[in-house]
């Protein structure tokens, strides 16, 4: 009888161990952002062309990753930093429109992030700099009673590829991320 009880206890311990989140550094290190912020669809940019008030405005990065502005027409913003985009706009304006254009580009509004699964209010939310998965869940109204409280799945675009990783709730969130809070079993 004690042998049977010991085997049941061992099976229960193995099942509990299988349910516990297992993190390996390489598992979620792939999703870590590197370097300067890269622009993508959904970002809104404040572009200032010094001395040219009619060109200075807020421009949205469209679904194809481009912005459209007077004299420049369309220009690719997707995957570029704000400094790279400013140089590209200066080059286009220098090509026949302005003698020495000075352009400043900054992100006015970051693209939203998304929270799904076991949270009170799933949906799309505005990004706030310095967020973690835990603060994103708080913005979504908190965990449901069944929500797994120590890990989440984060899906992110990295170099044009979609990467999904299991991460701890202290993991940093980036604009455009999709966070899924799974159901816990115990």
Which tens digit of pLDDT belongs to each residue from 126-172? 998 889 999 999 999 999 999 999 999 999 888 778 899 999 999 99
Write the pLDDT tens digit of every residue in 64-108. 999 999 988 899 999 999 999 999 999 999 988 888 999 999 999
Helices (H), strands (E): how many in the chain?
Answer: 4, 10
pLDDT at 160: 77
Residue pair 93/69 in contact (Cβ under 8 Å)? The answer is: no
Q: Coil, strand, or helix at residue 137?
A: helix
pLDDT at 33: 55
What confidence category does residue 25 fall into, taking pLDDT thresholds of 50, 70 and 90?
A: very low
pLDDT at 26: 39
How many residues are recorded in the chain? 186
pTM of the model: 0.74
pLDDT at 85: 97
> In the chain, which residue ranges form alpha helices assigned H by DSSP?
2-19, 25-29, 82-94, 133-139
Q: Which two tokens stand for residue 117?
A: 């699964």
Q: For the beta carbon of residue 138, count every other beta carbon within 10 angstroms.
A: 14
Average pLDDT, the chain: 84
| DSSP strand pairing (44-49 vs 57-60) | antiparallel
Distance spanning both ends of the chain, measured CA to CA: 27
């Amino acid at each position: 009888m004690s042998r049977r009880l010991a085997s049941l206890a061992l099976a229960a311990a193995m099942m509990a161990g299988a349910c516990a989140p297992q993190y390996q550094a390489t598992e979620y290190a792939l999703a870590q952002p590197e370097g300067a912020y890269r622009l993508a669809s959904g970002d809104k940019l404040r572009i200032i062309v010094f001395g040219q008030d009619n060109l200075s405005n807020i421009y949205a990065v469209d679904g194809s990753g481009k912005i459209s502005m007077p004299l420049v027409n369309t220009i690719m913003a997707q995957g570029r930093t704000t400094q790279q985009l400013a140089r590209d706009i200066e080059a286009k304006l220098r090509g026949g429109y302005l003698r020495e254009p000075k352009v400043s580009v900054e992100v006015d509004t970051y693209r939203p992030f998304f929270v799904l699964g076991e949270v009170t209010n799933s949906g799309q939310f505005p990004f706030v700099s310095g967020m973690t998965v835990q603060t994103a869940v708080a913005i979504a109204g908190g965990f449901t009673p069944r929500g797994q409280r120590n890990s989440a799945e984060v899906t992110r675009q990295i170099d044009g590829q979609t990467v999904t990783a299991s991460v701890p709730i202290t993991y940093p969130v980036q604009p455009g991320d999709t966070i899924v809070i799974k159901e816990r079993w115990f």
